[in-house]
Amino acid sequence: MSQAQWMDEAFALAEEAAADGEIPIGAVVVDRDGRIIGRGRNRRESGDPLGHAEIYAIREAAVAIGDWRLEGTTMCVTLEPCAMCAGALVNARVDRLVFAAFDPKAGFCGSLGNLVQDPRLNHRLEVETGFEEERSRVLLQSFFRKLRVRDKTERWQSG
């Protein structure tokens, strides 16, 4: 599989999340041979405060290989990881991160900070940004636009 196919899978997961009322973020972890070994999508609204796409993908990948060290792997995600997820990527020893769009409000892989490349840490990731950036932006904007319309309609009907 290619990087474009990996990102397509991440976007499919993001769309599943949106269909369930979750912020549309999807992530995959890919092994050295280019096989997807971990998949995740946001699940916070269903009650899991740690329910970020990246966390689910990392957990599934660790189970798939039988080790917490995900050396030699790549994560592809539709939005820049937050501080929690950036820390998880470092601690899991993921080698490479590819993300579509920057997150200026919560991203910690270049926007608000850069945890995944901090030289004080014992592991750093190679980072590639902007792959399918417009696709991510459109998906997120569409989701939040629909959410605002729904909220406005609910307020109008209840008032």
Task: Evaluate whether 28 touches 10 at the Cβ level (below 8 Å).
Answer: yes
| Contact by Cβ (8 Å): 69, 95 | no
- Encoded tokens for 73: 């792997």
**Active-site residue, 54 included:** yes
CB 22 within 8 A of CB 49: no
54 to each of 39, 45, 61, 130, how far by Cα in Å?
8, 15, 10, 17
User: Is residue 80 within 8 Å of 58, Cβ to Cβ?
Assistant: no
Which listed residue (22, 54, 80, 132) is catalytic?
54
Give the catalytic positions in this structure. 54
